[in-house]
Amino acid sequence: MRLDLHTMMLMTSVLTLLLSGLLALAGLHAGSIRGARLWALASLCYSLASFIAFADLTPTSSGWLIVLVVVLLLTGNSLQFSGIQAFKDQRIDWRIPLLFFGVAFAQSVWFTLLHPDANARAIANSLVFAAINALCARALLIRIDPPLRTAYWFTGVSFALLAAAALFRAAILFQAPPGTSIGLSSLLPFVPVRFLASSLILMCVTFGFMLMLNYRLITDMQKIALRDSLTGALNRRGLEEEAIRLAARCTRTGDSLAIMVIDVDHFKSINDRCGHQVGDKVLQRLTAVAQASVRSDDYFARYGGEEFCILLPSTTEEEASVLADRLRQAYAALTMEFGGEVLRSTISIGVADSNHVGLEFSALVSAADQAMYWAKEGGRNRVAAHSVMVCKVPAMVTA
């Protein structure tokens, strides 16, 4: 079956135009994710280049038209590289795409208008495209946690195949006999097949980026689902998931796992006297103090209402009590002012660990919760340890 090159170019132009619109819409609805609009522009450039080639690219076409097609293709490739940097939340280094753009433009003008040599132009442009696609592949074939790894590697492998195809084309053209017809208008049998293969891989590249967008959106939604909207801390569900993971790790390693249960003293009276908006701000201030006080591998969460929890891996009850008292003092020293009224607040903290109650999360929470109520009954603004409460030893860290 003979492949109709012009029909393939038209279909490629239409498909890439549709993908450009799809990516543009994705960029509008995923404003927090960078890179989608750059990829939309890249697909638009590919679509325009394919349409121009379909409409008027023949051996007698204007040299500037050939240069325009090369510039559009290279611009699309460069925008994809910049889109990858943006998607990874990196600073876009525009020097790299501008360098490739300048090199491709200069050699296209040189080998098309100043010293016409279609073979040399095709080889030089193929090498430039191979280089920029290799850079895109290198930026994506990295170690990253699933599920993004699947999308990254699928897209990266597609870029690597495009780079290999460009190098293969350069090698074929380098060995071609002098005077061989070069370009999209060539009747060489490998050209339509190569164009079809390259177009399919290019579709895979765009499909891969859409997978990257999809996985990023899913990841972001999961993070939102595990976060408290008021304080930004983990919510109860998020804490329970982390507790399951940490318990499994502690079972393997034999490490202890400690927990703090924190409750704001007289929080109901704060809401009644100052209003719920002030109460919300009190919780936000406590969150800020707690997040500044805990260690990088601890997990702080709003467990419900004015009650918070902190999971402390590789920590005993005694060590957790020291950290809890440091947090209690930091919060007690905080002066808050709302509407000209100065407000001071305190917290009571209960502490427990897996050495005394086991690794089951509900048992840890229950033990620390009991210790927290003991701290409140002892006068509030205190830290109480569950093991001390069980042994009936009247020893608490007090203000």
CA triple 32-36-41, angle to 5 deg: 145
Residue pLDDT, tens place only, 117-158: 888 888 898 999 999 999 999 999 998 887 788 999 999 999
More confident residue, 264 or 274: 264
According to the model, what pLDDT value does residue 186 have? 45
What is the CB-side half-sphere exposure of residue 110 using CA atoms within 13 A?
A: 12
Give the confidence band of 178 by pLDDT, cuts at 50, 70, 90. low
Q: Given strand 307-313, what is the order of strands in its sheet? A: 299-304, 307-313, 257-264, 347-353, 383-385
pTM of the model: 0.67
N-term to C-term CA, the chain: 88
Residue-range domain boundaries for the chain: 5-225, 236-390
Average pLDDT in the 97-116 region?
88
Q: Across residues 167-181, what is the average pLDDT?
A: 75
Lowest mean pLDDT among 14-28, 176-190, 196-210, 308-322: 176-190
pLDDT of 173 reads 81
Comparing 303-312, 333-342, 358-367, the range with the smallest average pLDDT is 333-342
CATH homologous superfamily of 236-390 equals: Reverse transcriptase/Diguanylate cyclase domain (3.30.70.270)
pLDDT digits 0-9 by tens, 70-85: 889 999 999 999 999 9
Average pLDDT score, the chain: 85
Q: What is the pLDDT of residues 330-341, one digit of tens each?
A: 999 998 887 777
Q: Looking at residue 397, what is its pLDDT? A: 47
**Confidence band (pLDDT; 50, 70, 90) for 198?**
confident
Position 396 scores a pLDDT of 47
pLDDT exceeds 70 at position 192: no
Task: Tell me the C-alpha distance between 70 and 46, whole Å.
Answer: 10
pLDDT of 190 above 50: no
What residues act catalytically? Answer: 306
How much is the pLDDT for 398? 46
Among the listed residues 133, 84, 138, the one whose alpha carbon sits nearest the alpha carbon of residue 104:
133
CB within 8 A of 339, min separation 6: which ones?
A: 278
Rounded Cα gap, residues 283 and 268, in angstroms: 12
State mean pLDDT over 314-336: 93
DSSP E strand boundaries for the chain: 257-264, 299-304, 307-313, 336-338, 341-343, 347-353, 383-385
Burial class, 329, CB count within 10 angstroms (exposed 0-12 / middle 13-18 / buried 19+): middle
Residues in the chain: 399
What is the structure's pLDDT at 399? 47
pLDDT of residue 371: 94
- Count CB-CB contacts under 10 A for residue 102: 11
> Which tens digits make up the pLDDT trace of 29-68?
776 788 888 999 998 988 888 888 766 655 556 778 888 8
Mean pLDDT of 203-231: 86
